[in-house]
Amino acid sequence: MRLLRDQLQREVASLYAFVETVSSACTSPSQAVSYSESSSKFFDYIGHLAARTKAHIADFDRHAEDNTEEFVEARTELWTLRAAWRELHQFIKPSADADTLNQPTAMVAALVNRLHELKGFESTDFTIFHTDSFDYAQVNPSATEAVAILARIVDAHQFPADLGLIGIPNSQGSALFLNCLLAHEIGEYAYAKRGIESRLAVDAAAALVEGLMSRIKDQDQSSAHHRTAWMRRIENWTTKALEDVALLRSSKS
């Protein structure tokens, strides 16, 4: 179906042009600036992923040669690629803006060196990106499903498992003491990597039940029954609160 193929070709051309622009920006950084090793690692990966994506979609219109079903499948895959690149795109330019003159390089290095003292984090590093948000943020692309699917589709390497991204408000730049919250974001990265929250949720609920039960031991049976019901409501509320915290952390990441 010629119309379907033409439509798919236009969409492929649009994505190809976008990825080409991203690839050029990552592989040819300005000579006037320099980047940390972690930032260069991030740009190298984006360049690799861009090259694999372009190779994958170069003759993509072959999928729409015969019938509508093939077109739908091809277009679905194409939209999956676009969605993943849209997710990565929000970090590329902000990371390019955070060169060594516009980030607290020494402070980041000191904090990362401390992190390396923890077992399992000996090779962890972070790319700094600027954000127009008031808040700091940490992102772990290796745990992002969209990026993992993109790499599988185009037969590329997965995002480096030991590389995280940390966003700092662009209005603060290289200010040292204003960026002390970087330690908090690095801690959140380690907290999520270790899966601490899922383990603490069970222990926190159990400790709450035990603590409240100890307070009603000496009460009469009717009062104890009433307080047990009240305690269960608190336990449910605590569990829900921990789930909400986990959801907020995942949406922030």
Instruction: Please write the tens of the pLDDT for every residue from 147-202.
Output: 889 999 999 999 988 888 888 887 665 555 667 788 888 888 888 887 776 677 77
**pTM, rounded to two decimals:** 0.69
> In this model, does residue 24 exceed pLDDT 60?
yes
| Token pair 């949720």: residue | 201
Q: For position 22, what pLDDT does the model report? A: 80
The enclosing H or E element of 32 equals none
Residue 83 has pLDDT above 60, yes or no: yes
Residue 47 in tokens = 């360049």
Pairwise CA distance, residues 126 & 182, whole Å: 11
Which of residues 222 and 75 earns the better pLDDT score?
Answer: 75
| Average pLDDT score over the chain | 77
Domain boundaries, the chain: 2-193, 196-252
DSSP string, 77-127: HHHHHHHHHHHHHHHHHHHHH--TTSS-HHHHHHHHHHHTTSTT-TT-EEE
Q: Is the pLDDT of residue 238 over 70?
A: no
Average pLDDT over residues 212-227: 59
The predicted pLDDT at position 63 comes to 57
